[in-house]
Amino acid sequence: MGNQPGYKASKDQLLNRLHRVEGQVRGVTRMVDEERYCIDVLTQIHAAQAALDQIALGLLDDHVHNCVERAAPGERPEKSDELVAAVGRLLKR
Amino acid sequence: MGNQPGYKASKDQLLNRLHRVEGQVRGVTRMVDEERYCIDVLTQIHAAQAALDQIALGLLDDHVHNCVERAAPGERPEKSDELVAAVGRLLKR
Amino acid sequence: MGNQPGYKASKDQLLNRLHRVEGQVRGVTRMVDEERYCIDVLTQIHAAQAALDQIALGLLDDHVHNCVERAAPGERPEKSDELVAAVGRLLKR
Amino acid sequence: MGNQPGYKASKDQLLNRLHRVEGQVRGVTRMVDEERYCIDVLTQIHAAQAALDQIALGLLDDHVHNCVERAAPGERPEKSDELVAAVGRLLKR
């Protein structure tokens, strides 16, 4: 358990992380409003992006374990295709 | 004006975009809470990430035009270094 | 067939794409050697990166369809974990 | 000198790194040809991508210090715009 990869998350953990990202984005809004130094704002945006990436990985992990693995054999290829297409969108942003 | 690149933004435009991102992230939270289909949640996360990327580019644009270009010549190299380091962080997420 | 997503690729197609990327990287080397304008070199690097992303998606697609789907049920979770970890590395670059 | 960021590079260093990337891409081609395990091939693609990112940052660094900073004041905004547009392409891959 102790060495689970960091992206594995229960629903509650995902929700906690999302609340934290909401706070980070509000923080960015405040920094822009206060005309803080661009580079500091960029650092904060980067933190929000990295947190969203982890959340996205957690959802992918959930999808592959709960949708792809457990799908009826005949539905699995379609679930797999959806997964790869989703990864393609994430890579291209 | 009409053919400005999409990332150029006034402070008001940046704030509007950030408010929209806040709404997108809250939407993701809601979708996770309602246990919506992972792939749909990922699409929504991707939209928030793409919006944050545009905002980050708008801030970089501001930094290079207002901090690098207008810095005293002796301070310009440092401002430039900060810019490249910030891009490096964004690329690595 | 006609509307396969662009990343799906046979072994021969993957090899062709990789040969093209090899040519693109040699092109970048030549441009740096000839001290061509940085921005033009960056455009060429970007083309090589985009091609590598497509190749990576093709391999992920192959992995999910041929390793995850067809694994014995008891081995599937491990194959899935490998997949998500690989996506995590690609996202972080 | 010792604590230069890793992306700063002379022309010779850039050329060396590019030769290494050429070797990495040839390695990927060989692995695909030998039908090596997808996940191992992905790890190798990731290494090539990360190396190209560092090279791209080195070129951006060169551009901002040598083109933006040293441009005649009237030409600087255009050089800056080129830089931000190039970053935008890299982020979107």
For residue A32, what pLDDT is reported?
A: 95
Nearest to A90 among C68, C69, C91 (CB): C91
Strands (E), C1-93: none
For residue C45, what pLDDT is reported?
A: 95
What is the number of other CB atoms lying within 10 angstroms of the CB of residue A56? Answer: 26
Q: Give chain B's residues under pLDDT 50.
A: 1-2
Q: Do A84 and C53 touch (CB under 8 A)?
A: no
Q: How far is CA A35 from CA B12, B19, B23, B78, D31, in A?
A: 11, 16, 22, 20, 51
For residue C23, what pLDDT is reported?
A: 97
User: Cα–Cα distance between A68 and A62 in angstroms, integer?
Assistant: 9
Average pLDDT, chain B: 89
Residues of chain C whose C-beta is under 8 A from some C-beta in B? 91-93
Tens digit of pLDDT for each residue in D33-89? 999 999 999 999 999 999 999 999 999 999 888 888 888 888 888 988 999 999 998
User: Cα–Cα distance between A93 and B6 in angstroms, integer?
Assistant: 16
User: Cα–Cα distance between A54 and A7 in angstroms, integer?
Assistant: 5
For residue D71, what pLDDT is reported?
A: 83
The band of A74, judged by pLDDT with boundaries at 50, 70 and 90, is confident
Q: Which residue of D has its CA nearest to B89?
A: D57
**Sequential pLDDT tens for chain C (93 residues):** 445 777 888 999 999 999 999 999 999 999 999 999 999 999 999 999 999 999 999 999 998 888 888 888 888 889 889 999 999 988 876
pTM passes above 0.95? no
Tens digit of pLDDT for each residue in A27-50? 999 999 999 999 999 999 999 999
For residue D3, what pLDDT is reported?
A: 59
For residue B1, what pLDDT is reported?
A: 42
Q: Tell me, what's the ipTM? A: 0.88
Tally helices (H) and strands (E) across chain C: 3, 0
For residue C3, what pLDDT is reported?
A: 59
The chains in contact with chain B, meaning 3 or more Cβ pairs closer than 8 Å, are A, C, D
Nearest to A61 among C84, C90, C92 (CB): C84
Distance to chain B for D34, nearest Cα, Å: 30
User: Cα–Cα distance between D93 and D87 in angstroms, integer?
Assistant: 10
Distance to chain A for D87, nearest Cα, Å: 13
Average pLDDT, chain A: 89
Q: Which residue of B has its CA nearest to C89?
A: B92
For residue B2, what pLDDT is reported?
A: 47
The band of D27, judged by pLDDT with boundaries at 50, 70 and 90, is very high
Q: Identify all chain C residues contacting A89, using CB atoms and an 8 Å cutoff.
A: none
The chains in contact with chain D, meaning 3 or more Cβ pairs closer than 8 Å, are A, B, C
Distance to chain D for C3, nearest Cα, Å: 23
Q: Do B25 and A25 touch (CB under 8 A)?
A: yes
User: Cα–Cα distance between B58 and B62 in angstroms, integer?
Assistant: 6
Mean pLDDT (whole number) for A47-62? 93
